[in-house]
Structure 1
Amino acid sequence: MTDTVQTQSSPLGIFERLLTLWVALAMLGGIALGAIAPGLVHAIAGAEVASINLVVAVLIWAMVFPMMVNVDFGAVAGVARQPRGLLITLVINWLIKPFTMAALAVLFFEHIFAPWIAPEDAQQYIAGLILLGAAPCTAMVFVWSQLVRGDATYTLVQVSVNDLIMVVAFAPIVALLLGVTEIAVPWQTLVLSTLLYVVLPLAAGLLTRRALGSPAAIEAFSQRIKPWSVLGLIATVAILFALQGEVILNRPFVILLIAAPIVIQSYAIFALAYGAAWALRVPHRIAAPCAMIGTSNFFELAVAVAISLFGLNSGAALATVVGVLVEVPVMLSLVAFANRSRSQFA
């Protein structure tokens, strides 16, 4: 299997490098917008059809579609060459991570943080963290793979297989965990959100790849539309914080409380996946991206579904956005560790 692939060879751009800064600025801008133009913000919040906010739906598609164009199902056949790396990724993503995230969310918000968080708010934050834990990374993992000099073709295989599983497994896992934590599950909205934000963008990405044809054309198209992904994320974050501004200004520490279980989960999942890869003697070029995929989240999907299920001004939506803020610095620290420990692998 080759160590590089053309469609994943683009350098880390300024948007990706400074994603945490852009998200933080979007948060501040959103809070200011909510104070200056509350009528505009509430008009955006009211633009809904069948529990789907139309403005946010457009922004989420702007985020998700560029990622789906990079998913190549033709690469899935190459998994037989290194099955252990994919096995670790799938076990972590679908049998461990959603459940440990739910357990940590309940532990922190129903017990450790109970004195500072109202029960109804705690349930919302738990729901948002469940959505984060059940959505494995699709796009940013290509960035992390590049930074650890991972096998880009194998990373593409892992992402493609994860996306195929996500089509059928995301909604049932989310429904199960929300039910276990006694949060009402609006099944119709959950299924509709999965179709709208996973199935349709995935199909559109596949059709776009076929229409473009050559890898060079796909790469050129991906580079042209990639900025829209970050712009969509920034606009969505700004809208969320415009609606959440009053809560955040009154209780800024809530951001830190939400971040705590996310950080713990991220480092624990990375340690488990990276340690398993080392024990199974998986080559570092596969082991490092394998652990990154398990650790990182498809936060774009989590944000979209949280908004659809619980609303733009919900605590669940806020929790998913905190996941965005936490993700980049945490993942960069893990990239540094993976690069330092390269010599420990075969």
Structure 2
Amino acid sequence: MTSTAATRRPGPAGDDSIVGKLSTLDRYLAVWILLAMALGLGLGRLVPGLGDALAAIETGGISLPIALGLLVMMYPVLAKVRYDRLDRVAGDRRLLVSSLVVNWIVGPAVMFALAWIFLPDLPEYRTGLIIVGLARCIAMVIIWNDLACGDREAAAVLVALNSVFQVLAFGLLGWFYLDLLPRWMNLGDGQGLDVSVWHIALNVVVFLGVPLLAGFLTRRLGERRMGRERYETAFLPKIGPWALYGLLFTIVVLFALQGKTITSQPLDVVRIALPLLVYFAIMFFGTFLLGKGLGLAYDRTATLAFTAAGNNFELAIAVAIATFGATSGQALSGVVGPLIEVPVLIALVHVALAWRKRFAADAVTTAP
């Protein structure tokens, strides 16, 4: 993400060599993220009207400040992708099928079960969590995957695949998990989810399509003009730090928007956070073990795990607000999502990097 990490991948020597190659910005990323979260929460709580002012800067239900931050965040990483290698990923059926099953069958089912187990007496929060589980990640997973030295090309393919399924399946799964299944299991009256396919498609275009196109064109035109070696050694290090700047800006804006809501209901936040923590653990560690069991290399296993554990909180929040209102419990659940997801996934980046040594050791042990 930064000038040092933009073009060089850490070798299998372990965490010590990884830390040595990182700049100060990357080395203390967890600290910057926590500070950004605290700054956003503080601004949202202390500056009168800031949240309302930021919320007013939107079009088509999409927050323009958040969209700007995500575009700046994703563009440098997508400019690093070797698009000429995508066909190798597309031919890996184990990876593609596993990703689809984990994301669109296992993930929503796990979140549905956890929401009912942890929040049987709080239907609004429960519904909000289920919506979070239906919104599969298409944005920040690009950053977590890159930090964990995952396969950039595989991440681009899986995120694009998730985007297509998000447009096609989000509304249908919302009806199934929020209306049909609760009635069928005699869990009470279901809650409908009135969400436009076009709204989901717009979300996908803004948060993935624009930076993906920009990254593709930059790689294509940059290599043609400078050559691949100069593009990767001279240009990418210059734009690399902007991914981190975009990430921190997005976090500040997101938490400034909802700072007052989060800080005024701490006990409710704890109730919502517990099933989210269990969810992230199940999805990440379960999928990581699945990738290892399928014989995938570390980089693709990490990509599979992060795309399974992450969620599209932008879409979840937008849908919850549009359907149930900005002050609803469903919206609060969506807001707590990134509050828990961001620090947890940055911690899982370090877990993945530690496991990277085990993959390397196993590869040496099994080599003929």
TM-score, normalised to structure 1, is 0.80
| Residues 267 and 295, structure 1, Cα contact 8 Å, conserved in 2 | yes
The alignment status of 1:204 with 2:218, answered yes or no, reads: no
Question: Of 263, 269, 278, which residue of structure 1 is paired with 2:281?
Answer: 263
Task: Work out the CA distance in 1 between the residues paired with 2:156 and 2:74.
Answer: 14
Question: Of 222, 229, 252, which residue of structure 2 is paired with 1:238?
Answer: 252
129 and 221 in structure 1: CA distance in 2 versus 1, 3 angstrom threshold: farther
333 and 74 in structure 1: CA distance in 2 versus 1, 3 angstrom threshold: same
2:95 aligned partner: 89
1:316 aligned partner: 334
Question: Of 159, 167, 170, which residue of structure 2 is paired with 1:171?
Answer: 167
Task: Work out the CA distance in 1 between the residues paired with 2:9 and 2:245.
Answer: 22
- Residue 128 of structure 1 and its aligned partner are, at CA, apart by 1.9
Task: Work out the CA distance in 2 between the residues paired with 1:304 and 1:263.
Answer: 21
- Identify the range of structure 1 (250-259 vs 93-102) with the bigger mean alpha-carbon deviation: 250-259
- Residue 166 of structure 1 and its aligned partner are, at CA, apart by 4.0
The alignment status of 1:98 with 2:94, answered yes or no, reads: no
5+ residue gaps, structure 2? 1-5, 11-20, 179-192
- Residue 341 of structure 1 and its aligned partner are, at CA, apart by 4.8
- Residue 43 of structure 1 and its aligned partner are, at CA, apart by 0.5
Task: Render the CA deviation track for 1:19-77: whole Å, top value 9, x for unaligned.
Answer: 33222222221221112113122101111211122222111111121122122221134
99 and 19 in structure 1: CA distance in 2 versus 1, 3 angstrom threshold: farther
Please identify the structure whose Cα radius of gyration is greater: 2
| Residues 136 and 294, structure 1, Cα contact 8 Å, conserved in 2 | no
| Residues 70 and 139, structure 2, Cα contact 8 Å, conserved in 1 | no
Q: Cα RMSD (Å) of the superposition?
A: 3.0
220 and 74 in structure 1: CA distance in 2 versus 1, 3 angstrom threshold: same
Question: Of 3, 10, 21, which residue of structure 1 is paired with 2:31?
Answer: 21
The alignment status of 1:61 with 2:66, answered yes or no, reads: no
220 and 120 in structure 1: CA distance in 2 versus 1, 3 angstrom threshold: farther
Q: For 1:300-339, what aligned pairs fall within 5 Å after superposition?
A: 302-311=312-321, 314=331, 315-339=333-357
2:128 aligned partner: 124
3-state SS of the aligned residue for 1:212? helix
1:39 aligned partner: 49
| Residues 20 and 328, structure 1, Cα contact 8 Å, conserved in 2 | yes
5+ residue gaps, structure 1? 1-5, 147-154
- Identify the range of structure 1 (258-267 vs 236-245) with the bigger mean alpha-carbon deviation: 236-245
235 and 157 in structure 1: CA distance in 2 versus 1, 3 angstrom threshold: closer
194 and 325 in structure 1: CA distance in 2 versus 1, 3 angstrom threshold: same
Q: 2:345 is matched by which residue type in structure 1?
A: E
Task: Work out the CA distance in 1 between the residues paired with 2:279 and 2:160.
Answer: 28
- Residue 267 of structure 1 and its aligned partner are, at CA, apart by 0.8
**Percent identity of the aligned residues?**
23
TM-score, normalised to structure 2, is 0.76
Task: Work out the CA distance in 1 between the residues paired with 2:308 and 2:288.
Answer: 16
